[in-house]
Amino acid sequence: MSAKHTDLKALLDLAHDRYNQPTFISEDPIQIPHSFEKKEDIEISGFLAALIAWGRRPMIIRNAHRLMELMEHAPHDFVMHASEDELARLEPFVHRTFNGEDAMAMVRSLRMVYRERGGLEGVFSSAIKPEHPDVYQGIVSLHQLMTQPDWFTQRTYKHLANPAKGSAAKRLNMYLRWMVRQDKRGVDFGLWKGIRPSQLLCPLDVHTGNVARQLGLLHRKQNDWKAVIELTESLRTFCPEDPVKYDFSLFSIGIHKDI
C-alpha cells in the first residue's frame, strides 16, 4: 500500500468515525425510519423517505415527516389496509416533483410487494444471490415489479431509479445501506441479513461525486451507474468487506470542511 493510499485511508476513516454516530441521525432523513420500532414500519418509512431524498435536507425531513403523518404514523398498516378514501389523503402531498399521485402509486405497489413477494426484503434478497458482486439485480428486480401495474404512470416511473438504464440510483443505494449495514454504531439498521455489506454500492450524487474526484477515487465525469461501480471499487481497496461505510466520509468531507 502506497503512502498516498495509506494517507487517504486515514482521512476517510477519520471522517467516517466522526460522523457515523447517533448524532448524525437528527440531521439526516434516516431519522424517519428511526422513529419506528416494527420492522415493516422501518422498511416502508425508510423506503419512502429515501425516495424523496433530494434537495435540501431540512425540506426532505419535513416532508417525509408530513408523509408519515398522512399515513397516521403507521406506514405498514396504511400500505396493507388503506381504503381508497384513506389513500386519497395523500393527494395534497408534494415534495418538489414528487406529488400525491406518485405517493399513491408507490403505496399501491408496496401493497403488492408485501402481499405477494414477502415485502421489500423479500424482493431484494431473492434477487441478489451470494455470488453476485453487488446489489444491481435487486434494484432492477424491484423496479420491474413495482412499475408493472397500470397505476404506475409515466410521471411516477421517473421517481423509481433503474440502473439498467444507467441511473446511479443514489436513493435506492442509500436505502440499501440503511437496511443492510450493521456496525453497532446506531445509525444504519442492519435489518436484512441475506445481503452482505460487501455487495452494497456507494450512493452517488453531485456532492459525493465531486469529493470522490477531488480525492482521486473517481475519474468518470458522469454521475451514472458506471461511476457508482468505479467509486465503489475504489472504496473496496480500503475496506472490501464494507466499502459503503465511506459514504459517511464522502458526505461529510467538503460539507464539514475536512479537506
Phi/psi of residue 95, nearest 5 degrees: -135, 105
The C-alpha cell that represents 214 in the structure block = 477531488
The C-alpha angle 122, 112, 71, rounded to 5 degrees, equals 100
* pLDDT value, residue 4: 82
Concatenated DSSP letters for 31-53?
A: HHHHT--SHHHHHHHHHHHHHT-
Read off the pLDDT of residues 87-109 as tens digits, 9 standing for 90 and up.
999 999 999 999 999 999 999 99
- Distances in whole angstroms, Cα of residue 161 to Cα of each of 69, 119, 238, 240: 25, 19, 28, 26
Helices (H) and strands (E) in the chain, counts: 14, 2
The C-alpha cell that represents 160 in the structure block = 423509481
The answer to whether the CB of 159 falls within 8 A of the CB of 2 is no
Q: What is the mean pLDDT of the chain?
A: 95
Q: Which residues contact 114 (CB under 8 A, 6 or more apart)?
A: 40, 76, 79, 80, 120
- For residue 98, list its beta bridge partners: 95
Residue 139: closest CA among 131, 122, 127, 154: 127
* pLDDT value, residue 23: 95
pTM summary value: 0.96
Concatenated DSSP letters for 63-90?
A: HHHHHHHHTTT-HHHHHHH--HHHHGGG
Is pLDDT of 113 > 50? yes
94: left (phi over 0), alpha (psi -120 to 50) or beta: beta
Read off the pLDDT of residues 169-196 as tens digits, 9 standing for 90 and up.
999 999 999 999 999 999 999 999 999 9
